[in-house]
Structure 1
Amino acid sequence: MNYTFQFGPLLNYLPQVVSGLWLTLLLSFVGIFGGIALGVASAVLSTSPWKPGRLLVRIYVEVTRNTPLLVQIFVIFFGLPNIGIRLSPLASVFIALVFNNGGYVAEIVRGGIEATHRSQVEAAESLGMTYFQTLRFVILPPALEKVFTPIVSQCVLLMLSTSLVSAIGVEDLTGAAMIASSETFRTMEIYLVIAVVYVVLNFVFRGVLNIAGLMIFTRSRRRLLGRA
């Protein structure tokens, strides 16, 4: 093998890569927080006494978890125009990312809710708390704290999955790399650089989300301070 690495030609594409990085961050932000909001709402509905709501969430979760994200993007971007709904590539991927992440988060949070001991619910009911008061003050806070670590892992996976949006022409980080690769033919160099960027983003996202968790959940913060 007589391959010479040349990273110099890639400097001309630095503005596109930076622009793609910012778009990746935006896509990740919307997908993560939109997905968490949708997932928590779906988890609450899936554990509610309303049977049609539970069935609806079950179908949503099964569809989300048993179809690839890329197929979901294609259905929204290429499929919806057939029934008269036309969306821009960016709007399509925003919807797909929130939809996908919401399904996974819903199942994670549902597990946390169902892990709540029945005695806590009975104590809340004995105090005259309504169903929604019990949910808000007794069930959801400890449930979310229990499952926060898998939620963080799922959100990091979503960030990495944003690379799929380049398949419909969205110039995220991977999309910018594809353009640079096709024009310079330095495929090895550009994708090595992009891989390193994704690794750094992985640690950054985990760190930021874990710090946010310590700020939100006081018991976790107290345990951490107690160990220190």
Structure 2
Amino acid sequence: MFDYTFHWRQAFKALPDMLAGAWITFETAALSMIFGVLIALALTVMRELKHPVARGFANTWVSIARNTPSLFQIYILYFGLGSMGWHVSSWVALLAGITFNNAGYLAENFRGGLKAVPGTQVRAARSLGMSAFQAYRMIVVPQLLRIVFYPLTNQMVWAVLMTSLGVIVGLNNDLTGVTQDYNVKTFRTFEFFAIAAVLYYLIAKAIVAVARLLAWRLFRY
């Protein structure tokens, strides 16, 4: 017999704290994407080089990031390094873990996007007197961004959702951490996590909406 009594008032009183946690969640995800994109671009370049060490390093990074659970990566950064005397905060471990994961997936996206741009365009640009840097900056990169834009959006949504793993290493000021703290104090699990799920959903939908608007403005022609 279902005899659970809902107490939404108590959960809604905690909404300001949960919204503050949601902002921390978004900031963490955004930073992980910024660092992830920069590292992914470097990994993409390294994978195109003929130097075996650089290519091997980049391929190993991508392989580990894409074939091991994000939970393990965060655990190793927090508990693994801690066991060796290198202590990092919960937030740093979470940010580093998500960045490591993002960089691996984005590097593969960038590599695919780079392969989709015909090499003849670079040769044509060089024949017109452009340097290699100019050819990539003016010809290749704009087309690459168009190709990988929506995968970038998906990865940003994924990064937001992955921040919930911070609770396993003691992070208590993001959305999941704040929700768990209130859950422990009140035992109103359904109410608090239902609200948290709605907030995660709204963040994800807002990211997709903004991405569509940006795509319409940037790629209309």
Q: TM-score, normalised by structure 1?
A: 0.88
Change (3 A) 1:136 1:55: farther
User: 1:58: Cα distance to partner?
Assistant: 0.6
| Equivalence for 2:220 | 221
Distance 1:128 1:45 in 2: 26
2:175 corresponds, among 164, 170, 173, to: 173
Consecutive unaligned residues in structure 1, runs of 5 or more: 223-228
Identity of aligned residues (%): 33
| Equivalence for 1:87 | 88
Q: Contact (CA 8 Å) 1:152, 1:210: kept in 2 or not?
A: no
| Equivalence for 2:51 | 50
Matches within 5 A, 1:7-46: 7-46=8-47
1:184 corresponds, among 183, 186, 192, to: 186
Distance 2:144 2:44 in 1: 11
2:207 corresponds, among 181, 205, 208, to: 205
Change (3 A) 1:53 1:134: farther
Distance 1:188 1:31 in 2: 30
User: 1:40: Cα distance to partner?
Assistant: 2.0
Matches within 5 A, 1:70-219: 70-171=71-172, 172-215=174-217, 217=218
User: 1:12: Cα distance to partner?
Assistant: 4.1
Consecutive unaligned residues in structure 2, runs of 5 or more: none
Change (3 A) 1:55 1:150: same
Q: Contact (CA 8 Å) 2:30, 2:156: kept in 1 or not?
A: no
Greater CA drift, 118-127 or 7-16? 7-16
Distance 1:168 1:26 in 2: 18
Distance 1:27 1:21 in 2: 10
Amino acid at match of 2:24: L
Q: TM-score, normalised by structure 2?
A: 0.91
RMSD: 1.8
Distance 2:132 2:85 in 1: 40
Amino acid at match of 1:126: S
User: 1:169: Cα distance to partner?
Assistant: 1.1
SS in 1 for 2:111: helix
Q: Contact (CA 8 Å) 2:94, 2:165: kept in 1 or not?
A: no
Distance 2:37 2:157 in 1: 12
Amino acid at match of 2:220: R
